[in-house]
Amino acid sequence: MVERFFADITMECIRDRSFSSVPELIRSIMAYLKRRNEDPKPYRWRADGRKILEKINRAQQVMKKQEASG
């Protein structure tokens, strides 16, 4: 969820913009947070934990095969 939050800040507040100073960047982030807090929307976890674990297990199996062959 933290990664999603930072992705939102990046996409909506930082990316495709140019800042002449760190204080200007901070002002932009603070303005984004103020707007977001005026109409807060919770982040909701929607991923299925079983599917995530299945993907992890598949990835581990592939990595083990690669280690054994290489």
At 40, give phi and psi (nearest 5°).
-70, 140
**CA triple 42-13-19, angle to 5 deg:** 155
How many Cα atoms sit within 13 Å of 67 on the Cβ side? 6
Looking at residue 30, its pLDDT comes to 96
Separation of alpha carbons 18 and 56, rounded Å: 38
Looking at residue 38, its pLDDT comes to 96
**Domain extents in the chain:** 2-69
* pLDDT tens-digit map of 8-50: 999 999 999 999 999 999 999 999 999 999 999 888 888 899 9
Q: Do residues 13 and 2 touch, judged by C-beta distance below 8 A?
A: no
